[in-house]
Amino acid sequence: MSAVEEDGATHGSAVEQLREALSGTEQLVVRMGLEITAWNPDHLVGTLPVAGNRQPYGLLHGGANAVLAETLGSIAAALHTGASR
């Protein structure tokens, strides 16, 4: 995964723990190429390549959209609740 930034600076332990949890080779987000690129308390930014995640008509697969939305939503919730929850 790429560096995770909060307002231009690499963030500390909570984001590092999330990155480590997502970095295993068996993780769907790793296989699909999802990267968390930035976050702050108001938003979380992630990218997902279209290449390798297309449906038969060449468009981004709807399931890939769902993976992106669900993963970013889960990470945002975890960041707001803290590591102890």
Residue 1 has pLDDT above 60, yes or no: no
Catalytic annotation on 70? Answer: yes
Residue 79 confidence (pLDDT): 79
Residue whose structure tokens are 């790793």: 30
Domains, the chain, with CATH or none: 5-81 (3.10.129.10)
Given a cut of 90, whether residue 65 has pLDDT beyond it is: yes
How far apart are alpha carbons 60 and 42 in whole angstroms? 27
Stretch 16-42: mean pLDDT: 79
Mean pLDDT of the chain: 79
Single out the residue of 69, 72, 83 nearest to residue 38, CA to CA.
Answer: 72
pTM for the predicted model, two decimal places:
0.71
What is the average pLDDT across 8-28? 66
